[in-house]
Amino acid sequence: MIITWIYAATSVFLVSAISLIGIVTVSLKADKLKKIVYILVSLSVGGLFGDVFFHLIPEVFSKPGNSLHSSFLMITGILCFFSMEKFLRWRHEHYIEVSENTVHPIGYVSLFADTLHNFVDGVLIGASYLVSLPLGISVTIAIVLHEIPQEIGDFGVLLHAGFSKRKALLVNSLSAVAAIVGMILALIIGCEVDGLSGFIVPFAAGGFVYLAGSDLVPELHKENTIAKSLIQFTFILLGICLLFLLTFLE
């Protein structure tokens, strides 16, 4: 159990540290950032799909007599992630747009949504490590790949909502603490409640499918040139292959 805590804590620390990606955002111009972000989004799509189809779904259906229950939880995951995005205006703006108007409420809504998202990430990481170390590692990698372009977008939203660069970096980093809270709760409750991972893993699978298919893929369709489309496809495959290689750890 100590090993599980060490791995989970390390993973959450890694995910939380990505909030510092804002420092990189500040140092890059918007046009240069766009050239990098669409590649990262492509890698994220491959990573999320690879994790779902190579790790999460096989784990979900590895236990007999659990298919209907797990299918329901996967659909619930899709609907919950849709609801969070719809009603909290949780938009993963992967491209930084220039805006002359500063709208403070949007900045705070974005910050709240990001904090909630980080909490969910922590819960998913903690619960996945309760199942097995390889599953925990695969979920962590999928989350990391998705967090990088998302944190760049979140940082941009805070800047355009009126936050200074220093304050945006500070509050974005503080919101990452929610992932630590989520991880701790998942591990503590998971030790007390039998079958917690049986609920969270299929929920995560549904959520990852939604994020990749509904949030990220439409962003990739904004690039229509043949060259960039080929690069996108290449990095999607790279993300998938990366998560496939992790199956050999199981």
> Tokens 């904090």 label which residue?
115
Residue 157 — pLDDT band, cuts 50, 70, 90? low
Enter the pTM of the model. 0.75
Distance CA 215, CA 223 (A): 15
Residue 102 — pLDDT band, cuts 50, 70, 90? very low
For residue 109, pLDDT over 80 is answered with no
Residue 240 — pLDDT band, cuts 50, 70, 90? very high
For residue 104, pLDDT over 60 is answered with no
DSSP for residue 154: H
Maximum C-alpha span of the chain: 57
Please, what is the angle between helix 2-17 and helix 104-131, to 10°? 150
CB 142 within 8 A of CB 199: no
For residue 96, pLDDT over 60 is answered with no
Residue 68 — pLDDT band, cuts 50, 70, 90? confident
